[in-house]
Copies of this chain bind each other. A is one copy, B any other.
């Protein structure tokens, strides 16, 4: 639970960024007592009429009721206002028909309170799986949420959606078009059960850019593949991962032909994705895994994920041990095409191994020095082709075990 564990040593040194208001978006939060005591646990975002929505979702076969509801709605029309309601503490996943009913109860109440169609109310739930969502505790606070909506509430929203997170995650980018400023601001939560196959956790991005659904969805999908689908904390894919992006259009700047928008959006997503890794449960190192020279990009990704998810590689990094033998092991088990005698491996800039054996002149002290830093880079050149992939992960420490062996108790 938030606050129980010390803040990750990888948290942004400057704290939560100053996120400016996004015209057309208002936020409110409340302590509804869904599961946690003494903290906010529900956030509401109200989106002005005309807001365009896009989203990406977990590919788990056991997706939660809120995810299924969002997926059904995300392609819908956009002439009216919309809303996003998120609770922490209970994921409303694997709750059968009761889960569906809980979503319906909450979305109906929000629809009623804000005067928008139910088909434009999106919800997410994050927390324990398999326990019925006490949705009456949420419906009881909708009126209070409506009455306290404010344009400056995004930082509070970032805090209300935290579960085992040790810091709230936010990011912002702005750019100028013909003297008008366009802003993109996002918040995210997530620190465990993080693995690709979509969005990996909860992410909400808001912009005053003017666009259409198809354009926004295509950018969001493409950038999800390049950001959130390139991170892994523990290889476990959540049943609830959701990314929603809302464009209010209030800036009056049409960004459909604007590369600056695509780039700024991806920067926000990249920043949030890396913050999620940096809050990986128990993490003490931010790890970049680069694979090149693979027979294909798909093979490169397979190898990068095998390395990033290997408990033995991750514990070696936790121990600041340049144990490249474990990297070889992970390459071997990945299933990708590999030739032991063409492999080369680097830790940071240090060439550790090449041509299937330890490199001439390699001194373990050099690699060990790199491993002591907060940012560790593992690079593997398979020496076979042009395929490349980069993924981001963290180390595996005793703190991960401590957090997850007593999450519910």
Q: Is the CB of B236 within 8 A of A333?
A: yes
Q: Which residues of B contact A325 (CB under 8 A)?
A: 91, 93-94, 128-131
The CA of A330 and the CA of B195, in the complex, are separated in Å by 12
Q: Dominant SS at the A interface?
A: loop
Bound-state CA distance A315–B62 (Å) is 21
Assess the A62–B129 pair: CB atoms within 8 A: no
A401 pairs with B405, CB closer than 8 A: no
If A340-B62, A343-B62 touch, does A404 touch B331 (CB 8 Å cutoff)?
no
CB of B193 within 8 A of CB of A312, answer yes
Contact A60/B396 with A316-B404, A319-B406, A353-B130 known, Cβ cut-off 8 Å:
no
Distance in angstroms between the alpha carbons of A205 and B319 in the assembled complex: 36
Tell me the chain A residues, 315-334 only, with Cβ under 8 Å from chain B: 315-316, 318-319, 321, 323-326, 328-334
- Chain A 337-377 interface residues, beta-carbon cutoff 8 Å to B: 337-341, 343, 353, 355-358
A119 at the interface (CB under 8 A from B): no
A131 contacts B96, CB within 8 Å?
Answer: no
Near B by CB (< 8 A), chain A positions 76-119 give: 91, 93-99
Interface size band for A: 35 or more
A340 to B92, CA, bound (A): 13
Q: Does A235 contact B (CB under 8 A)?
A: yes
Q: Which residue on chain B has the smallest CB distance to residue A309?
A: B235
Known: A316-B405, A340-B63. A400 touches B236 (CB 8 A): no
Contact with B along A288-323 (1 / 0, CB 8 A): 000000000000000000000111100110110101
Residues of B within 8 A of A318 (CB): 401, 405
A331 CA to B60 CA in the complex, in Å? 8
Interface: A192 (CB within 8 A): yes
Residues of chain B lying within 8 A (CB to CB) of residue A409? 319, 321
A131: chain B residues within 8 A (beta carbon): 325, 358
Is A397 located at the chain interface by the 8 A CB criterion? yes
Q: Please state if A408 and B239 are interface contacts (CB–CB under 8 Å).
A: no
Residues B401 and A329 in contact, CB atoms below 8 Å apart: no
Complex formed: what's the CA distance from A398 to B401 in Å? 6
Q: Are B235 and A311 in contact (CB under 8 A)?
A: yes
Seen from chain A, the residues whose Cβ lies within 8 Å of a Cβ on chain B are 58, 60-63, 91, 93-99, 128-132, 192-193, 195, 197, 234-239, 309-312, 315-316, 318-319, 321, 323-326, 328-334, 336-341, 343, 353, 355-358, 396-398, 400-402, 404-409
> Can you list 15 residue pairs at the A/B interface with Cβ under 8 Å?
A60-B332, A61-B339, A62-B329, A62-B338, A63-B340, A94-B325, A94-B343, A94-B356, A95-B356, A98-B357, A130-B353, A131-B325, A237-B333, A319-B409, A400-B401
